[in-house]
Structure 1
Amino acid sequence: MNIDISHWTELFQACVSNLPLPISLPSVALANPPYCRINPHSNLELTRFEMAYKWREQENGSYVITSKLKTQVEQECLFIEQCLKKVQPGEIVCVLVSNGILSSSSQAYFRRWLLEDMAWLIASIQLPPENFQVECGLGIITSFLILQRQGGDLPVPENYFIFMALADKIGFDSRGRQLFRTMSNSQQNPEVDSDLPVILEEFHKFIQEIWHNYLDK
């Protein structure tokens, strides 16, 4: 069965009536984990995660896992580990994380494990605190990470480019009020004041002009 992926209604109907999926697509895991800690000792199921254990730093700056469980572990780390272990090499994991695990010295072992052993970081896009203030009442700064699973026959680059962006505005303020750009005399309709459309456009350019060129090497 051959169906153009752009004909999504036909594709959906085919998926319902003809399993498995009639076309081959790479998996993409999407995750928005809770930003809180959990005690691995309270749930034996968590002992299967590498991130549930303490890691010891070596003299050369690398880290090795120990046999001791941590008293608390960030659920974000568990979500990322689970996602990466479920997808195949070359497939994508997109996850929204708090900036704490990206900058805290106590999470250095996690970052080394993530970027040296598990995935390549394609993009890191930081969002402003307003992102969670309106509905959740949290002024937390988060970043959207796009990761590609390492492994298999994929080459391991010594150096590669990473798309990085910082969104100062996302179209609304901390009270949920919509923000608009200052209108010029030639404009007829107001334009939402958000950095995300420009970031998305630049990310598309990055994928087409830089990341795909790297994959073709």
Structure 2
Amino acid sequence: AYADEHLFGADFDPFLRRATVMSLMTLTDTAGHAFQMDSLAFPDGHLPGNDEAYAFPQIRLGAVDVLMTNPPFGSDIPVSEDMILNTFRKSGGQYGVAYTWAKNSEGELTRGDGATAVSPERLFVQRAVEWVKPGGRIGIVLPNGILSNPGPADEAVRRFILDQCWVLGSVELPVETFIAEANVNILTTLLFLRRKTDRERQEEMEFGAADYPVFMAVAEKVGVDRRGNKVFVRTPDGEVVAEEEVEREILRIGGVEVPREIRRSVQKIDNDLPKIAKAYHDFAARYAHEFPWNADA
């Protein structure tokens, strides 16, 4: 019921869409709502899932509660369709990403004409923000260059993020994260955002930028090496560390349900992400009554 009512997904690739449907069927016994469409062209677009997706008001632009995405990125796959770029220019505001950007003699960021080609990750940042409702949350994977390069185009993306969103957290990932399966050999970051409400943006304009806590972490290990092989925690002597794993199940004996625990020793995967996830939740709990973690604070 939750999948039918609340979960929606989209991908340009029909194979990935079918794989998602099969995964949903296995886990939830329903095909759910996974659409083959161009997320950058939505609500327009020619792919077969576009009109089907638009029939659901829950996923129209500005209506989504939580958006999670790992967009394609790279200067070798720029987006150059005029229809898409014109749409992004109209909706991008002061720091819209579909323009050319430069710095004047005083080092100030200046917007030029509309860009003829834009790397997809920049467009996906703007689209992710446009898709969630005010107060909605975003989790997005981005190349580190957007967050650190001094170039004016990347700085404009950062200005757009800070203008439109509160930054809740930033988790840097090692190259091993995506190199084996996606052949992406660059550092990436998980960025967690909350879209500002109109009132919050107005208050910033009147009273200046707010000072608030931001979670930051660096993951050095993600459980796999560059070839995709599992990496295990080892002792100083090189021995693999084992840990006890408990699996719980319910047996039905003579019409009576009997709980049972199965304990087994398993090799411990060397992965920082579960520890970082716990630290993130602890951080959020510590600042739960502070703005912007609590939008009503």
TM-based fold match above 0.5: yes
Residue 150 of structure 2 is aligned to residue 105 of structure 1:
yes
CA contact (8 A) 2:223 2:271 kept: yes
Aligned to 2:176: 130
- Alpha-carbon deviation of 1:98? 0.5
Deviations 1:150-182 (A, max 9, x none): 122336452111111110000111111111112
- Could you tell me how far apart the structure 2 residues matched to 1:110 and 1:118 are? 11
Distance change >3 Å, CA 197–CA 60, structure 1 → 2: same
Aligned to 1:192: 269
Aligned to 1:29: 67
- Aligned residue for 1:112, secondary structure, equals helix
- Could you tell me how far apart the structure 2 residues matched to 1:153 and 1:118 are? 12
Moved more, 169-178 or 135-144: 135-144
Higher strand share: 2
**1:10-21 counterparts in 2 under 5 A?**
11-12=2-3
1:46 alignment partner AA: L
2:222 alignment partner AA: I
- Aligned residue for 1:30, secondary structure, equals strand
- Could you tell me how far apart the structure 1 residues matched to 2:4 and 2:86 are? 40
- Alpha-carbon deviation of 1:138? 2.6
- Aligned residue for 1:120, secondary structure, equals strand
- Could you tell me how far apart the structure 2 residues matched to 1:209 and 1:170 are? 26
CA contact (8 A) 1:29 1:92 kept: yes
Choose from 121, 140, 151 the match for 1:95: 140
- Could you tell me how far apart the structure 1 residues matched to 2:142 and 2:174 are? 13
Moved more, 147-156 or 75-84: 147-156
Aligned to 2:53: none
Aligned to 2:219: 167
**1:138-217 counterparts in 2 under 5 A?**
138-154=184-200, 156=204, 158-182=210-234, 183=240, 188-214=265-291, 215=294, 216-217=296-297
Choose from 60, 79, 82 the match for 1:43: 82
| TM-score computed with the length of structure 1 as normaliser | 0.79
Distance change >3 Å, CA 13–CA 65, structure 1 → 2: closer
- Could you tell me how far apart the structure 1 residues matched to 2:148 and 2:140 are? 16
Moved more, 153-162 or 203-212: 153-162
CA contact (8 A) 1:62 1:112 kept: no
- Could you tell me how far apart the structure 1 residues matched to 2:181 and 2:3 are? 32
The structure with the largest alpha-carbon Rg is: 2
Aligned to 1:5: none
Where in structure 1 are there 5+ consecutive unaligned residues? 1-8
Where in structure 2 are there 5+ consecutive unaligned residues? 7-31, 33-55, 89-95, 235-239, 245-264
> Higher relative contact order by CA 8 Å / sep ≥ 6: 1 or 2?
1
Compute the RMSD of aligned alpha carbons: 2.8
- Could you tell me how far apart the structure 2 residues matched to 1:212 and 1:97 are? 29
1:167 alignment partner AA: A
Aligned to 1:3: none
CA contact (8 A) 1:28 1:92 kept: yes
% same residue: 30
What is the count of residue pairs matched by the alignment?
A: 200
- Alpha-carbon deviation of 1:61? 5.8
- Could you tell me how far apart the structure 2 residues matched to 1:14 and 1:53 are? 37
Deviations 1:21-80 (A, max 9, x none): 8xxx9711112111123253x4332122121112344677654533x1224322111111
